[in-house]
Chain A
Amino acid sequence: MIAAPALEITLLVWGLVLLMVDAFADKIDKRALAIAGIVGLAVVLLGSFFLAPLPPVATTGFWSFYTADPLAIFFKRFALVTTIFVLIMAIDYGPAIRMGIPAANPHAGLGEFFVLPIFTCAGLMWMASAIDFVMIFVSLELVTVSFYVLVSFTRRNPATLEAGVKYLILSALSTGFLVYGITWIFGVTGETNLARIETVLATQDIDRVPVLFGAALVLVALGFKIAAVPFQIWVPDVYQGAPTPVTAFLSVGSKAAGFVVLLRVLAPFLMLPQVGKMLVGMAALTLIYGNLAALPQLNLKRLLAYSSIAHAGYLLIGIVAFSGAAIAYYLVAYLLMTLLCFAVMIVVATQGDQIEDYAGLATRSPFLAFAMLIGMLSLAGVPFTAGFLGKFFIFDAAIQHHETLLVAIGVITVGCGFYYYLKVVRAMYWQAPANTSPIAISALSRVAICALIAGIFILGVYPKPILEALSPSITVVTAR
Chain B
Amino acid sequence: MLLFIVFAPLITALFVLLGAPARMTALLGSVATTVVTLIAFFRYDIAQGGFQFVSAWPISEGWRLQFLLGADGLSLVMLFLAALVLLCAVWFTPPVEKSERLFYACLLFIASGAIGAFASLDLFFFYAFHELALIPTFLLIGIWGSGNRFAAAWKVTIYLALGSFVLLLGLILLYRSVPADLRSFDLRQLQAVAASGGISAHAQNQIFFLLLIGFGVLVSLFPFHTWAPEAYASAPAPAAMLHAGVLKKFGLYGLLRIGLPLLPEGARHWSWLLILLLLGNIIYVGLVTLAQKRLDWMLGYSSVMHMGYIFLGIASANLLGTSGAALLMFAHGLSIALLFALAGEIRRRTGTLVLSDLGGLGKIMPFAGFAFGIATFATIGLPGFANFAGEVLIFFGAFKTGADWRGFHIFQIATLLALWGVVISAVYMLRAYRSIFMGESAARWRALPDLSRTLRLPVVLLVTTTLIVGFFPNTALRVLRPTFSRPVAAK
Contacts and interface: CB of A to CB of B under 8 A. Distances in A.
A395 B176 CA distance: 12
A390 to B, nearest CB: 13
A382 B113 CA distance: 12
B162 A412 contact: yes
A462 interface: yes
Contacts of A213: none
B127 interface: yes
B173 interface: yes
A425 interface: yes
Contacts of B157: 418, 422
B138 A399 contact: no
Contacts, number: 74
Interface in B47-93: 59-62
A383 B128 CA distance: 5
A400 B178 CA distance: 12
Interface string A253-269: 00000000000000000
Nearest to A410: B165
Interface residues of B, number: 31
A216 interface: no
B135 interface: yes
A463 B173 CA distance: 20
A49 interface: no
Interface string A445-477: 000000000000000011110011001000000
Contacts of B142: 426, 429-430
Given A382-B135, A422-B157, A467-B62, A399 B172 contact: yes
B134 interface: yes
Interface residues of A, number: 32
Interface string A379-411: 011111000100010011001100000010001
Contacts of B131: 382-383, 388
Contacts of A411: 162, 165-166, 169
Residues of A contacting B: mostly? helix
Given A384-B132, A425-B138, A395 B172 contact: yes
B60 A467 contact: yes
Contacts of B127: 383
A50 interface: no
A448 to B, nearest CB: 22
A415 interface: yes
Contacts of A395: 168-169, 172
Interface string A335-367: 000000000000000000000000000100000
B426 interface: no
A396 B172 contact: yes
B15 to A, nearest CB: 16
Contacts of B128: 383-384, 388
Interface of B: 59-62, 99, 127-129, 131-132, 134-135, 138-139, 142-143, 150, 153-154, 157-158, 161-162, 165-166, 168-169, 172-173, 175-176
Closest 10 CB pairs of A and B: A383-B128, A415-B162, A383-B131, A418-B161, A411-B165, A464-B60, A396-B172, A414-B165, A430-B142, A415-B158
29 contacts: A381-B165, A382-B132, A383-B132, A384-B132, A388-B128, A392-B168, A392-B172, A395-B168, A396-B175, A411-B166, A411-B169, A415-B158, A415-B161, A415-B162, A418-B157, A418-B158, A418-B161, A419-B158, A422-B154, A425-B139, A426-B150, A426-B153, A429-B139, A430-B142, A430-B143, A461-B59, A464-B60, A467-B60, A467-B62
Interface of A: 362, 377, 380-384, 388, 392, 395-396, 399-400, 407, 411-412, 414-415, 418-419, 422, 425-426, 429-430, 461-464, 467-468, 471
